[in-house]
């Protein structure tokens, strides 16, 4: 009896951990996040390989815009210099601005078809889906920039500034592209169907890009539109790119601090867009993917 009473009791079995807890411990850290992000980025790139038509809006369409404006409208527009050099900065900014519709459509499609819900069952970090999506879209926009500048070189566009200024212009364009990707991702989570993305994009982006100095000098517009174009962020970004490339700039018709300090103002605009769009996207994604 004493032996039974003094015998050590067997240790109580540990309570089984919840699968989500085990998954979180096994996938925590920076390295798994990077690995998951690259997997999702590759998934988006595989879509492009299977459906090459997805590249039309970042390859053929920008090329057509350059050729159309350079050879059809260029002879009728006086910018006090080479219109083809004046044009490239505007086409670059316009293409990146319209680029927001690509990520918006992709995310809206994934959400409506339940793809994101299936991804949630995988042992991956939640943010990796958005980060992978961002990397793939940024690669597409970088390709669009390459096509545009290559076409510009063929039609006579040249840079007339230092290598550092050219690198600064490219960096500014990539930051702007990043802001538009995150903004488009947020829009894709707001709409109820992918079909609505096109309407929203053209309603907002189309007037912003054409009511600017992207294609014509601001001074050629009616008085009221001159004021609007002078304070349009697109005009500021275009002016900054032209300044850094050393290309002809649109004369300032009205005093406008953003146009007078185009590079600084453009950096502030892009930083503000990122500071607004990234948290909104993450919060909306959390809301749409929470049971």
pLDDT digits (tens, 9 = 90+) for 250-286: 777 677 899 999 999 999 999 999 999 999 999 999 8
Q: For residue 29, tell me if it sits in a domain.
A: no
Q: Chain-centre distance of CA 17, in angstroms?
A: 40
Is 221 a domain residue? yes
Domain range for 157 is 56-104+142-288
> Number of structural domains, the chain?
1
**Domain assignment of residue 256, yes or no:** yes
Higher pLDDT, 284 or 23: 284
Is 85 part of any domain? Answer: yes
Distance CA 178, CA 155 (A): 28
| Beta-carbon contacts of residue 267 (< 8 Å; ≥ 6 apart) | 172, 175
Q: Does residue 64 form part of some domain?
A: yes
**In a domain? residue 212:** yes
Range from 22-31, 71-80, 106-115, 177-186 carrying the lowest mean pLDDT: 22-31
Nearest of 250, 261, 278, 285 to residue 87 by alpha carbon: 250
Whether 4 is covered by a domain: the verdict is no
- DSSP type of residue 220: G
160 touches 249 (CB < 8 A): no
Residue 78's pLDDT band (cuts 50, 70, 90): confident
Q: Name which residue leads in pLDDT, 54 or 85.
A: 85
Helix H segments across 211-261?
A: 223-230, 233-245, 257-260
Does 204 or 122 have the greater pLDDT score? Answer: 204
Distance CA 270, CA 276 (A): 10
Secondary structure (3-state) at 27: coil
The answer to whether the predicted template modeling score (pTM) of the entire model surpasses 0.75 is yes
137 lies in some domain? no
């Amino acid at each position: 009896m004493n032996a039974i009473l003094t015998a050590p009791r067997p240790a109580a079995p540990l309570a089984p951990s919840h699968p989500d807890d085990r998954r979180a411990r096994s996938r925590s850290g920076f390295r798994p996040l990077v690995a998951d992000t690259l997997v999702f980025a590759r998934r988006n790139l595989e879509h492009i390989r299977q459906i090459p038509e997805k590249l039309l809006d970042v390859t053929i369409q920008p090329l057509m815009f350059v050729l159309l404006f350079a050879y059809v409208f260029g002879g009728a527009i006086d910018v006090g210099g080479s219109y083809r050099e004046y044009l490239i900065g505007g086409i670059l900014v316009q293409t990146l601005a319209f680029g927001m519709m690509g990520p918006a459509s992709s995310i809206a499609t994934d959400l409506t078809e339940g793809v994101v819900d299936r991804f949630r069952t995988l042992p991956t970090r939640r943010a990796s889906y958005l980060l992978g999506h961002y990397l793939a879209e940024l690669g597409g926009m970088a390709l669009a920039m390459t096509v545009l500048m290559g076409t510009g070189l063929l039609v006579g566009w040249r840079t007339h500034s230092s290598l550092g200024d050219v690198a600064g212009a490219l960096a500014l364009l990539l930051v702007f592209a990043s802001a538009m990707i995150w903004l488009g991702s947020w829009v894709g989570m707001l709409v109820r169907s992918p079909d609505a993305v096109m309407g929203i994009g053209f309603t907002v982006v189309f007037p912003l890009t054409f009511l600017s100095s992207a294609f014509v000098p601001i001074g050629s517009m009616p008085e009221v539109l001159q004021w609007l174009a002078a304070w349009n962020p697109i005009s500021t970004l275009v002016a900054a790119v032209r300044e850094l490339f050393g290309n002809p700039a649109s004369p300032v018709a009205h005093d406008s601090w953003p146009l007078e300090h185009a590079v600084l103002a453009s950096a502030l605009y892009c930083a503000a867009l990122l500071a607004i769009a990234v948290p909104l996207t993450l919060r909306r994604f959390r809301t749409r993917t929470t049971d």
